[in-house]
């Protein structure tokens, strides 16, 4: 022990008798107490707190956690924070252990409905959804789908729901807004799945073809004239 100061040499002489070589003066005093409990490299305050912790079987905890966990141990959960300990005391009466404060309050309401891990707003909306049998929906979807359920289609967007209400009266359920408008015209002609431009062109074509056929003489094949659209 050559490169050491006088006091450190004196303290470590004491330390060496206990088997720990490179410790400071105060740590040597505190750890002398710690060694009687079997833990060697702890600070002063931790030594005091952990003396209490050791009686409960948990060794490396901070001061405040030691106080809170003393309460937790009576409930069988060891490594929890202060606030969680208070909230989880309430949670344990309901059988769910690792929840946050607000979730504990909301889930108390959820448990009456049988769903445990939901957020606050979803809990309120899903209370409405549960009356309709659908559990995991957002707020706006819940409102829109309440209207849609009366028509039997559940997972549609808001605008599509309005347009498809018109479509359902014609028997076609999953169409977009513009297609619904165009196909309403197409259905009067018997063709259902056409685009806007085709619908407009064929409407003109059918009108001209009908006019040409009504003006021709069907008794004599030689008197037939080609329609203007085919010339």
Residue 67 shares a structural domain with residue 54 = no
Residue 20 shares a structural domain with residue 54 = yes
- Classify residue 196: in a domain, yes or no: yes
- Classify residue 208: in a domain, yes or no: no
pLDDT exceeds cutoff 50 at 1: no
Domain that holds residue 129: 119-155
The answer to whether residues 135 and 115 touch, using CB atoms and an 8 Å cutoff, is yes
Cα 31 to Cα 13, 37, 182: the distances in Å are 14, 9, 87
- Classify residue 149: in a domain, yes or no: yes
Residue 8 shares a structural domain with residue 57 = yes
Regarding pTM above 0.75, the answer is: no
Cα 37 to Cα 13, 47, 79, 109: the distances in Å are 21, 10, 21, 47
Q: E strands of the chain, at which residues?
A: none
The answer to whether residues 108 and 117 touch, using CB atoms and an 8 Å cutoff, is no
12-46 tens-digit pLDDT: 666 666 555 455 556 666 666 656 555 544 455 66
- Classify residue 229: in a domain, yes or no: no
- Classify residue 99: in a domain, yes or no: yes
- What local confidence, expressed as pLDDT, does residue 116 receive? 46
Residue 137 shares a structural domain with residue 168 = no
Among residues 65, 69, 62, the alpha carbon closest in space to that of 45 is found at 62
**E strand or H helix at 102:** helix 101-111
Residue 168 shares a structural domain with residue 131 = no
- Classify residue 206: in a domain, yes or no: no
53-62 tens-digit pLDDT: 565 555 454 5
- Report how far residue 116's alpha carbon sits from residue 122's, in angstroms, rounded to the nearest whole number: 12
- What local confidence, expressed as pLDDT, does residue 154 receive? 47
Among residues 105, 102, 59, the alpha carbon closest in space to that of 78 is found at 59
Q: How many domains does the chain have?
A: 4
- What local confidence, expressed as pLDDT, does residue 7 receive? 72
pLDDT-based confidence at 134, cuts 50/70/90? low
Q: Which two tokens stand for residue 199?
A: 């619908």
- Classify residue 214: in a domain, yes or no: no
- Classify residue 224: in a domain, yes or no: no
- Report how far residue 196's alpha carbon sits from residue 176's, in angstroms, rounded to the nearest whole number: 12
67-99 tens-digit pLDDT: 666 666 665 554 445 566 566 666 565 555 444
């Amino acid at each position: 022990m050559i490169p050491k100061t006088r006091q450190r040499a004196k303290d470590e002489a004491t330390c060496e008798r206990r088997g720990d070589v490179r410790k400071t003066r105060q740590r040597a005093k505190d750890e002398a107490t710690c060694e009687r409990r079997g833990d060697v490299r702890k600070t002063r305050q931790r030594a005091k707190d952990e003396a209490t912790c050791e009686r409960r079987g948990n060794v490396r905890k901070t001061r405040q956690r030691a106080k809170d966990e003393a309460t937790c141990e009576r409930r069988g959960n060891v490594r929890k924070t202060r606030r969680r300990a208070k909230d989880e005391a309430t949670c344990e009466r309901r059988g769910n252990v690792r929840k946050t404060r607000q979730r504990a309050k909301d889930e108390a309401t959820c448990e009456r409905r049988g769903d445990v891990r939901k957020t606050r707003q979803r809990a309120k909306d899903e209370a409405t959804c549960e009356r309709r049998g659908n559990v995991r929906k957002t707020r706006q979807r819940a409102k829109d789908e309440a209207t849609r359920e009366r028509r039997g289609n559940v997972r549609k967007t808001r605008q599509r729901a309005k347009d498809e209400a018109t479509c359902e009266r014609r028997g076609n359920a999953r169409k977009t807004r513009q297609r619904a408008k165009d196909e309403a015209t197409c259905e009067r002609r018997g063709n259902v799945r056409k685009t806007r431009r085709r619908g407009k062109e064929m409407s003109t074509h059918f009108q001209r073809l009908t006019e040409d056929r009504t003006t021709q003489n069907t008794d004599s094949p030689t008197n037939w004239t080609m329609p203007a659209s085919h010339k």
